[in-house]
Amino acid sequence: MSKDRVTGLVALATSLVLFALTLDLKQSPLVPIGPGFYPRIVLGVTAVLAAALLAFDLLSRKRPAERRAANYGLVLASFSVFGVYVGLLPFLGFRIATLLFVAALQATIEPPKGWRGWAIVVATALVTTTSAYYIFERQLSVLLPRGRWTDF
Amino acid sequence: MYELLLNGLQDVMQTKYLLPLFIGTLVGVVGGALPGITNTMTVIMVLPFTFGLEPLQGLATMIGVYIGGESGGLITSCLLGIPGKPSSIATMFDGYPMSRKGEPGRALWLGIWASFFGGLLGAIFLVGATGPLASLALEFGPWEYFSLFVFALSMVAGLTGASITKGLLAGAIGLVVTVMGNDPVMGQVRLTLGIPWLEGGIPFLPVLIGVFAFSQMMSDLEKVRGKAVDPLAKVVVPKLVVSHAKVVWEILSRPVLLLWTSFIGLLIGVLPAIGGSAANVMAYDQAKKFSKRPEAFGTGTPEGIIASEAANNSNVGGSLVTIMAFGIPGDAVTAVMLGAMTIHGIQPGPLFISQEPKLAYGIFASYIIAHFIMVAILLVGVRWFLKIVMVPKSILVPVILVLCVVGAYALSNTMANIYVLLAFGVIGYLMVKAGLPLAPLILGVILGDQIEINLVRAIMTDANPWLFLTRPISGLLLVLSVASVAFALWQHQRHRGRPGAVQEDGADF
Per-residue pLDDT reduced to its tens digit, B122-139: 898 888 888 888 888 888
Higher pLDDT, B256 or B73: B256
Q: CB of B370 within 8 A of CB of B21? A: yes
What pLDDT shows up at residue A50?
95
What pLDDT shows up at residue B134?
86
Question: Which chain B residue is nearest to residue A94, measuring alpha carbons?
Answer: B406
Alpha carbon distances (Å) from B416 to B85, B202, B468, B494: 31, 9, 38, 45
What pLDDT shows up at residue B280?
80
* Mean pLDDT score of chain A: 89
Higher pLDDT, A29 or B430: B430
Q: Which residues pair with B182 in a beta bridge?
A: B189
* pLDDT(B502) > 60: no
**% of chain B with per-residue pLDDT over 70:** 91
Q: Which residues pair with B190 in a beta bridge?
A: B181
- Please give the average per-residue pLDDT across B477-504, as a whole number: 72
Of B176, B433, B502, the CB nearest to A18: B176
Burial class (CB in 10 A: 0-12, 13-18, 19+), B467: middle
Reported as a single tens digit per residue, the pLDDT across B12-28 is 999 999 999 999 999 99
What pLDDT shows up at residue B233?
52
What pLDDT shows up at residue B508?
41
Q: Which of B193, B142, B190, B134 is nearest to B363 (CA)?
A: B134
What pLDDT shows up at residue B177?
94
Give the other-Cβ count within 10 Å of B408's Cβ.
Answer: 30
Residues on chain B touching A142 (C-beta within 8 angstroms) = 48, 51-52, 406, 410
What pLDDT shows up at residue B501?
42
Q: CB of A58 within 8 A of CB of A50? A: no
A61 CA to chain B: closest CA distance, Å? 13
What pLDDT shows up at residue B136?
84
Q: Which of B17, B78, B28, B85 is nearest to B53 (CA)?
A: B17
Question: Which chain A residue is nearest to residue B503, measuring alpha carbons?
Answer: A65
Q: CB of B115 within 8 A of CB of B74? A: yes
CB contact under 8 A, A32 and B459: yes
Of A35, A85, A132, the CB nearest to B183: A35
B69-73, B386-390, B392-396, B480-484, range with the lowest pLDDT: B386-390
Residues on chain B touching A35 (C-beta within 8 angstroms) = 183, 185-186, 188, 190
pLDDT-derived band at B268 (thresholds 50, 70, 90) equals: confident
Higher pLDDT, B354 or B85: B354
pLDDT-derived band at B506 (thresholds 50, 70, 90) equals: very low
Residues on chain A touching B51 (C-beta within 8 angstroms) = 140, 142
CA end-to-end span of chain B: 34
CB contact under 8 A, B398 and A124: yes
pLDDT-derived band at B337 (thresholds 50, 70, 90) equals: confident
Task: Identify the residue among A60, A72, A75 best suited for mutation to test binding to B, counting B beta carbons within 10 A and taking the highest.
Answer: A75
Give the other-Cβ count within 10 Å of A56's Cβ.
Answer: 15
What pLDDT shows up at residue B475?
94
* pLDDT(B505) > 50: no
Higher pLDDT, B294 or B218: B218
Question: Which chain A residue is nearest to residue B430, measuring alpha carbons?
Answer: A7
Task: Identify the residue among A136, A143, A144, A148 best suited for mutation to test binding to B, counting B beta carbons within 10 A and taking the highest.
Answer: A136
Give this complex's ipTM: 0.93
Q: Which residues pair with B336 in a beta bridge?
A: none
Helix (H/G/I), strand (E/B), else coil: B140: coil
CB contact under 8 A, A109 and B221: yes
Of A22, A32, A42, the CB nearest to B175: A42
Top-confidence range, A139-148, B144-153, B323-332, B423-432? B423-432
pLDDT-derived band at B33 (thresholds 50, 70, 90) equals: confident
Reported as a single tens digit per residue, the pLDDT across B392-408 is 888 889 998 998 999 88
Q: CB of B60 within 8 A of CB of B83? A: no
pLDDT-derived band at B237 (thresholds 50, 70, 90) equals: low
Question: Which chain A residue is nearest to residue B46, measuring alpha carbons?
Answer: A136
Based on its alpha-carbon atoms, the radius of gyration of chain B, rounded to whole angstroms, reads: 22
* Mean pLDDT score of chain B: 84
Top-confidence range, A22-36, B139-153, B343-357? B139-153
Higher pLDDT, A90 or B163: A90
Alpha carbon distances (Å) from B20 to B28, B399, B462: 12, 21, 48
Question: Which chain B residue is nearest to residue A82, measuring alpha carbons?
Answer: B422
Of B191, B218, B392, the CB nearest to A18: B191
Of A83, A98, A106, the CB nearest to B422: A83
- Please give the average per-residue pLDDT across A121-127, as a whole number: 95
